[in-house]
Structure 1
Amino acid sequence: MAEENAQKLYQALWASADILRSKMDANEYKSYLLGLVFYKYLSDTMLVYSTKLLSNESENLEEAQSIYSKAYQDAEIQEDLKDALKDDMSYEIKPELTFQALIEEIDNHTFQREHLQQGLRDIEQSDKVFEDLFEDLDLNSKKLGSTPQKQNETISAVMKALAELNLNEYNGDALGDAYEYLIGQFASESGKKAGEFYTPKEVSRLMTRIVIAGKEDKKGFTVYDPTMGSGSLLLNVPKFSKEPTSVRYFGQELNTSTYNLARMNMFLHKVPAENQTLRNGDTLDADWPQDEPTNYDGVLMNPPYSAKWSAEKGFLDDPRFSRYGVLPPKSKADFAFLLHGYYHLKNDGVMAIVLPHGVLFRGAAEGKIRKALLENGAIDTVIGLPANIFFNTSIPTTVIILKKDRTSRDVFFIDASNDFKKEKNQNVITEEQLEKIIDAYTERKNIDKYAYLASYEEIEENDFNLNIPRYVDTFEDFDPIDIVEISKEIKDIDAQIQDAEAQLLVMLDDLQVTDDTKDIIEATKVVFGHGR
């Protein structure tokens, strides 16, 4: 039944996107739909909770709206109720601005976008955790319609599609997973534009399981993603933790729209405000965080590949980069992201980062940084992933696992580049293939054509080049060719051809010759009768 309800929720949410799909691309309309879903969630949750505070509990939204509205008519009750909601939920929505009230306006043909805009504004101003949360919902955008009336109609239609759902009925996992589902669907439609906000769930699960391995029982596990996108990597941690409510999340995101998406995602997964420390900023420009804590049990990263950064000389004095003596090139910030994340890793922590294969073998400054990391034993495992599993690129990528407390400098290589299932235009890693990678990583043993544990000496002999084919030989030998047998087969085929030609010539002799066929028959005899 739970799975059936989840599917119903997914379908209803995705169906509401149809109204916007013809007006703008997914990278734009995701902000409208996800923002409205979040506003409805806040509204539905507050309405039902208010009936509990008023000792007149109801799960029915229409009934809860009625109870809430009547309570507001008594000035004394109103003040007490507002204070309780602010204390317990950090926000309150006026009765006339709840999602339910706005739906009633739509049904009565009195709805105006300004009413919704006011409700969104009130949420943003209620507490710092909601500040500027809905700034991407431009309700006056021409993309919603060429006139105010058409814009009204579009927003009304989306809200009506969502009105069938009571988002208070779903627990944190169900609603949060549904939100993740929407983000995944938007990523699929957005193509290359999706890279900034979404990491495919199979990759997220792989990285998270590796990072949290052995610390599933830890209370207060801290996880950091300095390029967090929609927060999908961070939010995988509680799925594998035995103390999920104590997990503390730290994340930074440069894109403001994506940052707001992550904030909503956190709330929909019922992450308490005190357990999340998120920031809208440039990870490479200035180090963050610098207040305690600054180092974390786990670091998860899927940064933009080969992005440009300033690489100014002043960064050579930055503790994140200073020990390596050189800076990653301006044209490729891959190692800048890696070094930033590694700097914020605890001594007994684990880091997993997705990067393009170039970081494994490119020379110059990147080669020097890679050598320094290998000399320090920082690089633990290199996992080659299949091509075309990310929405923003079709190139094959690699997951690099880094640690600080290693006593060995060997590196374990896993070539999972051929382990995928093709679906439509995208490749996916199946559950079985995911388990295969995890098992190989855990056992750390050589597996023919799949995994290899390379000693530091071997890596040094390879001039610190970590290109996976240097260590994992996936070449398939062909069966030896029997020249004698092939020669015999050729002779047999020649004999069969000569026999067929002889039969054809006999048939030609038996044909009745006419003026029309004479030349054709003679030409055929010349071809087949005089050999090849």
Structure 2
Amino acid sequence: MGGYSIDDFKKLIVSKFESLRLHFKESDVVESLLLLMFCRWQYGILMDEQSSREGGRLISLRDVVQRVAEEDGSSVFKGYFLKALQKNDLTMASDSKGGRLLVELWDELVRLSFNDQSEEGSLGECFEWLLSFFAEENMGRGGYFFTPSGIVSLIVKILDPKPGEKIYDPACGSGEFLVEAINYVRRTSPDGELSILGREMSPSVAFVAKTNVLIHGVVRNCIEVKSFLSGDGYNAKVSGRFDLAVANPPFSLRNWDGGESGEFLRYGVPPQASADFAFIQNLLFSLNDEGRAAIIVPMGVLFRGGSEKTIREKMLRENNVEAILSIPSMSFYGTAIPANILFLRSRCASGEVLFIDASSFFIKSQRLNRLDVDAVERLFCLYSDRKDVEGVARCVSIAELEANGWDLTVSKYVVPAPSVSNESLAFLTEQQNKLEQELSFLQQEMRRLLSSL
């Protein structure tokens, strides 16, 4: 990084973050840092343009803001950016301690000479780290906006995006799936690119996703501010148009508007108490004939009855479900409940569903269980081989699933092998905590279902 490294960037952010949150609300600190990173990207563009002309001059933050104000683009993004920058500008212009800290941070960011995207220490890599840092610092808040990197890497590796393909995320959060897919294609094909479409209903969150993809060199207008489940223009812009689709949507979203989603609710309308199967159908019917998708869902999606069971049955009879991978509790920011990844296809070649219990692949931690690079590779091999492995993976026929009432709970088909050794007290305590968390989740599901009757 021209005398710097990504570690220098990390130290700068950590030191300023700790100081800034003594003077501002955490949400304001996060907003300020994200805005300054966007400005640093724009600053680099202006510097490149100036270097090609004679008579260059010093570029200020005010020049950057002016450039954004003059550019064509989405009025939603521009409006959010300028409003937020105006608030920060007033702070930076003041003689307050917080204002001086922000000015110092901007001056440091300008001095950092970030590498190209293909090299370590790029602005894109630093921005990705910044998002993960925010997620770590805000445990319990905003968890659905950022998915841990190990899980993102696993999903993208299994989906295996190819150059020239199109990828869709209707609840893109900070854009981490889209960016990892972009990075994956560039690693496997240096000249390869993806066509992407991400949607978010919050302008502030959509701004983060837009900044993320822009910093990674995707200059097309590919992030939209749109309701998660809006059917507006779905058939014209989304239906059957994508090679890949992926999402980590809000779990069991209540009181969603099914009337706006009719264009993709082709297998049935989910209950108003849970939009999970609305998200699933939104992804599924975005795929072309060879399309594949992955979506992270809560446990209830696998076994709930009523209209959700009917939708699940149709998906299985149409060979849309390729695999289900269970994830242990404490593996996502902002929620302790266990989850599952559904891998979907327009039509699977096999008449079986692969079930994988991934709990033993995670590195256990009191704060967040994680998948490392080795675990991602081993799970990818399990998925690719589609072989029965005792206590870990099993392929199950549609006939057996029908006999079990279309219940897709992974533990019903994959039972961990019993241990013959004496378990330690720490292990037994961990298992007890896991069972208590799962019981708590099931109790919440029961209360939610009863309240919706």
For Structure 1 versus Structure 2, the TM-score category normalised by the shorter chain is 0.7 to 0.9
**CA separation of 1:477 and 1:202: change in aligned 2, threshold 3 A:** closer
Contact 2:4 2:113 in 1 (8 A): no
AA of the residue aligned to 1:68:
G
Of structures 1 and 2, the one with the larger relative CO (CA 8 A, separation 6+) is 2
Residue 342 of structure 1 is matched in structure 2 by 284
- Count the aligned residue pairs: 413
Task: Extract unaligned runs of 5+ from structure 2.
Answer: 423-453
Contact 1:416 1:437 in 2 (8 A): yes
**CA separation of 1:24 and 1:193: change in aligned 2, threshold 3 A:** farther
1:386 aligns with 2:386: no
Tell me how far apart the structure 2 counterparts of residues 139 and 19 of structure 1 sit (CA, whole Å). Answer: 22
- Output aligned runs, 1:465-484, within 5 Å: 465-476=407-418, 478=420
Residue 112 of structure 2 is matched in structure 1 by 165
What is the SS of the residue equivalent to 1:246?
A: coil
**Equivalent of 1:128, from 49, 73, 76?**
73
**Equivalent of 1:299, from 228, 235, 245?**
245
Residue 367 of structure 1 is matched in structure 2 by 309
- Output aligned runs, 1:105-184, within 5 Å: 116=62, 119-128=64-73, 131-132=78-79, 134-135=81-82, 137=84, 139-140=86-87, 148-150=94-96, 152-167=99-114, 169-171=115-117, 174-184=122-132
What is the SS of the residue equivalent to 2:142?
A: helix
Task: Extract unaligned runs of 5+ from structure 1.
Answer: 55-66, 70-94, 103-115, 481-532
Contact 2:234 2:264 in 1 (8 A): no
Bigger radius of gyration among the two:
1
**Equivalent of 1:259, from 176, 192, 206?**
206
Contact 1:354 1:400 in 2 (8 A): yes
- TM-score, length basis structure 2: 0.83
Contact 2:35 2:85 in 1 (8 A): no
**CA separation of 1:125 and 1:4: change in aligned 2, threshold 3 A:** closer
Tell me how far apart the structure 1 counterparts of residues 68 and 257 of structure 2 sit (CA, whole Å). Answer: 40
**CA separation of 1:14 and 1:152: change in aligned 2, threshold 3 A:** closer
Q: Deviations over 1:370-394 (max 9, x none)?
A: 1111111111100011221111211
Residue 9 of structure 1 is matched in structure 2 by 9
Residue 421 of structure 1 is matched in structure 2 by 363
**Equivalent of 2:177, from 225, 228, 233?**
233
**CA separation of 1:394 and 1:195: change in aligned 2, threshold 3 A:** same
Tell me how far apart the structure 1 counterparts of residues 421 and 10 of structure 2 sit (CA, whole Å). Answer: 51
Q: Deviations over 1:401-437 (max 9, x none)?
A: 0001324331100001232113461111122211111
- TM-score, length basis structure 1: 0.71
Indicate the RMSD between aligned Cα atoms, in angstroms. 2.8
Contact 1:186 1:194 in 2 (8 A): no
Tell me how far apart the structure 2 counterparts of residues 345 and 38 of structure 1 sit (CA, whole Å). Answer: 32
Residue 82 of structure 1 is matched in structure 2 by none
Tell me how far apart the structure 2 counterparts of residues 3 and 333 of structure 1 sit (CA, whole Å). Answer: 50
- Output aligned runs, 1:41-440, within 5 Å: 41-54=41-54, 67-69=55-57, 98-99=59-60, 116=62, 119-128=64-73, 131-132=78-79, 134-135=81-82, 137=84, 139-140=86-87, 148-150=94-96, 152-167=99-114, 169-171=115-117, 174-212=122-160, 216=162, 219-241=163-185, 242-243=188-189, 245-273=192-220, 276-292=221-237, 294=239, 295-312=241-258, 315=261, 318-321=262-265, 323-324=266-267, 326-423=268-365, 425-440=367-382
Tell me how far apart the structure 2 counterparts of residues 471 and 458 of structure 1 sit (CA, whole Å). Answer: 10
Q: Deviations over 1:334-393 (max 9, x none)?
A: 111111111101110110001111100111111111111111111110001122111121
Higher helix share: 1
Q: Displacement, 1:27?
A: 3.8
Tell me how far apart the structure 1 counterparts of residues 46 and 200 of structure 2 sit (CA, whole Å). Answer: 29
Tell me how far apart the structure 2 counterparts of residues 133 and 269 of structure 1 sit (CA, whole Å). Answer: 21
Identical pairs, percent: 24
**CA separation of 1:479 and 1:14: change in aligned 2, threshold 3 A:** closer
Tell me how far apart the structure 2 counterparts of residues 314 and 144 of structure 1 sit (CA, whole Å). Answer: 41
Tell me how far apart the structure 1 counterparts of residues 349 and 373 of structure 2 sit (CA, whole Å). Answer: 32
**CA separation of 1:133 and 1:221: change in aligned 2, threshold 3 A:** farther
Tell me how far apart the structure 1 counterparts of residues 334 and 249 of structure 2 sit (CA, whole Å). Answer: 12
